[in-house]
Amino acid sequence: MLAALLPLLLLASPGAARCTSILVSSGAAAPGVGSMLTHTDDCKDCDFRLAKVPARDHPPSASRAVYGGRASYPRYVGDDRGDVFAAGSLLKGDAFYPWAASPALGSIPEVAHTFAYLEGTYGIMNEHQLAMGESTCGAVLASAPVFDVDNDGNPGKALLEQAELTRIAMERCKTARCACQTMGDLATAHGFYGAVWKGDPTTVGLEAGEAITINDKTESWMWHVLPDDTGESAVWVCQRVPEGHVSAVANGFVIKEVDLADAENFMGSDNMYEVAERAGLWQPGQHFKFDAVFGTRRGHLSTYINRRVWRVFDLIAPSLSLPPHTDQFAADYPFSVKAERPLTVADLTAIQRDYYQGTDFDTSKGLAGGPFGNPARYDMAPQTDHGGATHEDLLQGRFERTISLFRTSYSFVTQSRSGVDDALGLAWFAPYTPHSSVYMPVYTHVMAVPKSLSTGSLFKVDERANWWAFASVGQWCAQWFVYTQPTIVAMQQKLESDWFEAQEDVEALALSIGGFGGDIATRGYLTDYSASQASNTLAAWWELFDVVRAKFHDGYMVADFGAESFDPTPLFFPKWWLVKVGFWGKECRGGSTAKHARKNNKGEFKQPIEWDDDDASDDASDDASVDASDDASDDASDDASDDACCSDDDLMGAPSPTTPGHSSGIVGAALVVGGVIGAATVSYFAKTSPHHYQNINV
């Protein structure tokens, strides 16, 4: 049967997500905030729907079906995980694939009762405030799943992958320690396989392992796993984040020193050292560091991982002055850093929206960002002709990999709070790219997640889906990012600040209602509240799409829609970019004066051109003198001008906080242009209509 399912399961195998996750202990957070974690699900083809999996009771001797890893839409089809995944909810029509029910690969013994939880590509948060984030990691050992067959006809041996492990832990655990042990025991007993297990060895090596960040109400843990060398078990380790500290993972293992004798701070599989020795990765007597023994060596591409970890640590603990340049395994970076001030949800949303603003690595700066500072650096396609550059050629270069990424499916921040009713477990959920989205409150105790967050797919534009509203605005605005991003930031800050301000009152009211009407009343209120915020944001963002299309189009910006006559402002290119592209000559490395233009355009025109430098020296002898005088100094002056053209004064990037919580440079720009952004003055309590944001001047 598994052989018959092979084509479907291979098609369904999860793609390369390569995400970022930040883990904040409760002691590092501001009073009342609790422990927090984040996850950016960075995926080109992921099913972006948020779902609520209900709690269930199970009869004695029941089995729990295990499904293969699938990230793309629909990630699951069946009746075991709530209405979102029912066959009736799928896209219909001749243009779309006729998806069938998801096939089970096997089963494990079921428990008597399973908990309710929110899930995306992975489990997010359950009814007991257990939360998880994810980051695919490189690993030197890989294994094949049970449904795969090699060239000799031998089936794989591993049953479980990471998404399914997180769901099982969400169903069964209340604490982070339980989640670590449960996932670890299952992986070693039934075998673990990574996101990619066959094909290009480089890709397999980058996708064979996993990291999970785990929070409960009192503890924060980092979990790592990879297949063992037999292909039928796994190696795993889990380390506790010290109170007051923050850790981060960005596609590479970060647990270094391991002490399984210290049960207060470490957990792990007993086979760790045996597998390392048997696979030739380590010998007894050698120093053992988990990341260096089991992690993939990426060479010059290790900045893809380490730069993001550096950025998080540098924002959280700037006084450490950690270097942005390090070795492949960031040996001089600690596992965690002590937060230098109490952190809030707003601080973490700011970090998730980061593209290295204010640093040498700012992707909104320089030629690669274009004249208008687009921070996106799109993926290369291995099978595509990139103007003659081979895939191997492209692997010799690199762009910076940012935390906020153009292909993010969704991101979130969770709050797990001790001393707070579990009904108030909270995920701040943002579909699409973080810097172009809004973090909306979704409580785990809802009866169902907001319809606009559980609807839609990448196959078809769906105006009922928040993801498509954010994507439409974000992709339109990316064309003129420096001019458009202040508008988006103003909306983000208005909506989120209102929710943060109202949170205490909303939660008090939810519990108060429950005091009279019972738990069902609390659930009903939280369901309606979460749904109304998502639907209001959906309406506001589609309105914003209409505004930005009218305000920014065809290289013009409209500053005043109330003017008597239409008078758009050209969004022309900055000088540094004009120099680079040869606006004043076909090479134009040396500047933009008339004499340079004359020199750089030699041979360009059949007839002599008169240049506007209003003196009589525009003759052959002057050309010769220009050549003689310029050639001697061109190298030095060109280098200087090249550097100068890329200075912060000339570039069109839009800065935002370089320290979480500080006021944004983008917002400052928004205030300066006044009429472009305007004042957002609608109060939270006036939000009674889906169109209540229409008074925000954008």
Q: Does pLDDT of 629 surpass 90?
A: no
Alpha carbons 365 and 184: distance in angstroms, whole number:
43
Residue 608's pLDDT band (cuts 50, 70, 90): low
Alpha carbons 334 and 247: distance in angstroms, whole number:
9
Q: What is the pTM of this model?
A: 0.86
Residue where the block lists tokens 């797919």: 457
- Digit-coded pLDDT (tens) for 168-193: 999 999 999 999 999 999 999 999 99
- Fill in the amino acid letter for 280: G
How many CB atoms neighbour CB 360 within 10 A?
9
Q: Does pLDDT of 698 surpass 90?
A: no
Q: Which helix (H) or strand (E) holds 186?
A: helix 176-190
Q: Does pLDDT of 632 surpass 50?
A: no
667 by Cβ neighbours in 10 Å (0-12 / 13-18 / 19+) ranks as: middle
How high does pLDDT run on average in the chain?
A: 86
- Digit-coded pLDDT (tens) for 198-242: 988 888 999 999 999 999 999 999 999 999 999 999 999 999 999
Instruction: Spell out a b/e string for 383-410, using b for 16 or more CB atoms within 10 Å of the CB, else e.
Output: eeeeeeeeeeeeeeeeebbbbbbbbbbb
- Digit-coded pLDDT (tens) for 471-492: 999 999 999 999 999 999 999 9
More confident residue, 10 or 137: 137
Q: Quick one: what percent of the chain has pLDDT higher than 70?
A: 81
Q: Does pLDDT of 7 surpass 60?
A: no
Residue where the block lists tokens 């500053």: 559
| Spatial CA neighbour of 183 closest among 135, 232, 234, 229 | 234
How many CB atoms neighbour CB 209 within 10 A?
31
| Spatial CA neighbour of 226 closest among 209, 238, 242 | 209
| Spatial CA neighbour of 484 closest among 372, 405, 633 | 372
User: At 38, phi and psi to the nearest 5?
Assistant: -130, 165
Query: pLDDT value at position 688?
Result: 32
Alpha carbons 543 and 693: distance in angstroms, whole number:
9
Ranking 234-238, 258-262, 283-287, 595-599 by mean pLDDT, the lowest is 595-599
Query: Nearest 10 degrees: CA dihedral of 480, 481, 487, 493?
Result: 170
Q: Does pLDDT of 685 surpass 60?
A: no
Query: pLDDT value at position 541?
Result: 98
- Digit-coded pLDDT (tens) for 33-75: 999 999 999 999 999 999 999 999 999 999 999 999 999 999 9
Residue 595's pLDDT band (cuts 50, 70, 90): low
Rounded mean pLDDT of 577-597? 68
- Digit-coded pLDDT (tens) for 137-174: 999 999 999 999 988 899 999 999 999 999 999 999 99
Q: Does pLDDT of 637 surpass 70?
A: no
Q: Does pLDDT of 626 surpass 60?
A: no
Query: pLDDT value at position 127?
Result: 98
| Spatial CA neighbour of 43 closest among 80, 75, 6, 67 | 75
Query: pLDDT value at position 388?
Result: 77
User: At 653, phi and psi to the nearest 5?
Assistant: -75, 155
- Fill in the amino acid letter for 81: R
3-state secondary structure of 329: coil
Query: pLDDT value at position 691?
Result: 35
- The domain ranges of the chain are 575-644
- Digit-coded pLDDT (tens) for 108-126: 999 999 999 999 999 999 9
Ranking 257-261, 565-569, 571-575, 627-631 by mean pLDDT, the lowest is 627-631
Cα 357 to Cα 402, 437, 511, distances in angstroms: 10, 18, 41
- Digit-coded pLDDT (tens) for 401-437: 999 999 999 999 999 999 999 999 999 999 999 999 9
How many CB atoms neighbour CB 632 within 10 A?
10
CA 536, 531, 345, 409 dihedral sign is negative
Among 245-254, 607-616, 665-674, the range of highest mean pLDDT = 245-254
Query: pLDDT value at position 481?
Result: 97
Q: Does pLDDT of 381 surpass 90?
A: no
Query: pLDDT value at position 592?
Result: 53
Name 89's Cβ contacts closer than 8 Å, sequence gap at least 6: 83
Residue 379's pLDDT band (cuts 50, 70, 90): confident
More confident residue, 30 or 677: 30
